[in-house]
Amino acid sequence: MPEIPADTGVNPAVLSHYYEAPATNSGDEEIWCYCDRPCYSPGDRVAFHVSTSATSYSLEIALDAAELEVVFRRDNLPGRRHSTPADASVNGCDWPVSFELRIPENWRSGGYRVTCRIDTRAGVVEQHYLFLLRSNAPGREQRLLLVSATGTWCAYNNWGGSNHYEGICGPHGNRFSPQLSLERPLPRGFVVLPEDAPRAALAAVPGVDEAVSYPHMEWAYANGYCKKYASAGWASYERHFVRWAAQAGYEVDIVSQYDLQLRPEVIADYRCLVFIGHDEYWSWEMRDSIDTYVDAGGRVARFAGNFMWQTRLEDDGRRQVCYKSRAQTDDPARASDRITSSWELPQIGRPGAMTFGLNAIRGVYAGWGGCVAFGAGGFPLYRPEHWAFAGTGLGYGDVLGAQSRIFAYEVDGLDYLIRDGLPYPAANEQVPRDIEILALGLASNQEVARAVDPATLFLGSEDCELHAHILYGEVTPRTVALAGRGSGMIVSFTRGRGEVFHAGSVEWVAGLLRRDVQVERVTRNVLNRFLSA
């Protein structure tokens, strides 16, 4: 980690770029691990790439379901430290295979936690990885299929130095990387978290004179976790849905988001696909798979937010590419519709709302930092008579999920108008024909400074300027102000023979984690309807 800046008045977690990487001191005791792929099928061989200072290590695999079920353990595996390239976050670690395991045919679909351990002078040292396992009988017994947001995991993984936000790339070693390798460990906090780890969203409305704070980043810095642990990863999102679903009586299979492009046939036999949490990065081919699935009669339950960036996969899916704000100058595909920018960039010609009904560029921040910190916390309802809200007791103007703070920290919306007290998509939005806006709250891309120097806020003007450029074609005070105003919505629509329900918030899962009975009821209504369709 870097040294803590002195006399800034702001917690160093907000100001500093820090990351995990192998020790430079050969005497340091450590262990790191990654697998050769993010997702497997029963019968596949998993290759574990391990680098450690110890002469031996243990490897444990556990299914992270309703409970943690240990399914494999091997002790006294030979250990060896391997050199790590300086560009490991971009091109991979290139460590040799340390151990291989053929996955038994009877292992259930799910997320499998890999724990590598060594004994050191200071005690036991552990490092965690996670791989996903598909079902060997897809679609059986009306199972849900959870599509894990592995594109977003990769985008926020800063192991080795760089992710799609910060990094050690470029001529001065201080730029994010548009290319990221999957062949590296996951950072601390993506697989396992203590129960008291703060979520990205504010847990409560702050005091009027309370300074803007970012508790998750401050906690991460103080406790040695990845700065982005609350933005991505199994531990913050998918894990909570899997545990809730098991307790609620649902059978859930799991695949990687990359399977939508590399193995699109895996979704065909399921009646309902589920997306949860922070699901920001998608390729063109992944969207093709979902559009084809829905048109053919599939149902999509998306309890997720921030549908923002087009990506590309390279090297047989081992590298993810997204140039983001630099796409129009740096992306080799900048002259085509595969440019890795926001889906709303006119040259892409494929607005995000045409797949899921909402987009991130009309959303984004709420209940986070200085963005809508005093907002409703939940979704204000406009069409409570919709089938999704049956049994909740909620009426027009009531707020869904306010106590559990589900309207955060990034939400998806649309440009809209209000007519006779009801919201409708604005004429300039390209959306599915019969879309209904069921709930609508406000978001912002500009932070309000409370008891703090505005220059020390985490969110600068870059988001507003990028959104202004994409939406309005120019960056002026007027367009920046327009781009600063956003919304978050719940929408429902049919397309072809299928149907989509989209609650456009990253934090919907907080309502399940905190056992908000109304959020749980809506979730059940959607899943039950789609499973019985």
Local confidence band at 449 (pLDDT 50, 70, 90 cut-offs): confident
To which H or E segment does residue 327 belong? helix 327-330
Contact (Cβ atoms closer than 8 angstroms) between residue 421 and residue 371 = no
Whole-angstrom distance, CA of residue 418 vs CA of residue 262: 42
The beta-strand segments (E) located in 223-298 are 252-256, 272-278, 281-283
Percentage of residues of the chain with pLDDT beyond 90: 88
List, for residues 402-424, the tens digit of each pLDDT value: 999 999 999 999 999 999 999 99
Give the model's pLDDT for residue 15: 64
Superfamily of domain 22-133: Macroglobulin (MG2) domain (2.60.40.1930)
pTM above 0.75, yes or no: yes
Radius of gyration of the chain (CA): 22
Cα 172 off chain centre by = 29
Beta-strand relationship, 379-380 and 399-400 = antiparallel
Q: What is the mean pLDDT of residues 346-352?
A: 96
The pair of structure tokens assigned to 410 is 């990034």
Separation of CA 294 from chain center: 22
Interatomic CA distance for residues 441 and 439, integer angstroms: 7
Residue 359 sits at φ, ψ, to 5 deg, of: -140, 160
- Would you say residue 243 has pLDDT above 90? yes
Residue 486 pLDDT exceeds 50: yes
Between CA 4 and CA 238 the distance in angstroms is 33
pLDDT in tens, 65-100: 999 999 999 999 999 999 999 999 999 999 999 999
Between strands 309-314 and 281-283, the pairing is parallel
Distance CA 453, CA 431 (A): 40
- Binned at pLDDT 50, 70 and 90, residue 296 comes out as very high
The single-letter code of the amino acid at 119 is D
Count CB neighbours of 488 within 10 A. 34
Query: What local confidence, expressed as pLDDT, does residue 11 receive?
Result: 56
448: tokens are 């309000």
Residue 37 sits at the vertex; the CA angle it makes with 32 and 42, to the nearest 5 degrees, is 115
C-alpha of 433 from chain center: 28
- Number of Cβ atoms within 10 Å of the Cβ of 169: 18
- Mean pLDDT rounded to a whole number for the chain: 94
pLDDT in tens, 358-376: 999 999 999 999 999 999 9
Q: Would you say the C-alpha torsion 153, 403, 224, 131 has a positive or negative sign? A: negative
Task: Identify the band that residue 113 occupies on the pLDDT scale cut at 50, 70 and 90.
Answer: very high
Instruction: Name, in order, each residue with C-beta under 8 angstroms of 502's C-beta and a sequence gap of 6 or more.
Output: 300, 302, 356, 357, 358, 412, 489, 490, 491, 492
Per-residue pLDDT reduced to its tens digit, 264-285: 999 999 999 999 999 999 999 9
Cα dihedral 320, 193, 101, 47 sign: positive
According to the model, what pLDDT value does residue 140 have? Answer: 64
At 456 the pLDDT is 75
> Is residue 478 pLDDT above 60, yes or no?
yes
Phi, psi angle pair for 530, to nearest 5°: -75, -35
Coil, helix or strand at residue 483: helix
State the Cα–Cα distance between residues 212 and 522, nearest whole angstrom: 32
Cα separation, 483 vs 475, whole angstroms = 10
- Cβ burial, residue 27 (10 Å; 0-12/13-18/19+): exposed
Average pLDDT for 118-140: 91
What backbone phi and psi angles, to 5 degrees, belong to 240? -70, -40
Residue type, 410: E
Q: Which of 21-35, 58-72, 76-90, 307-321 comes out lowest in average pLDDT?
A: 21-35
Strands (E), 260-357: 272-278, 281-283, 299-305, 309-314, 319-321
**Closest by Cα among 370, 368, 13 to 212:** 370
User: Is residue 7 scored above 70 in pLDDT?
Assistant: no
- Residue 57, CA distances (Å) to 22, 114, 115, 126 in order: 17, 13, 10, 10
CA 160 to chain centre: 20
Q: Is the pLDDT of residue 1 over 70?
A: no
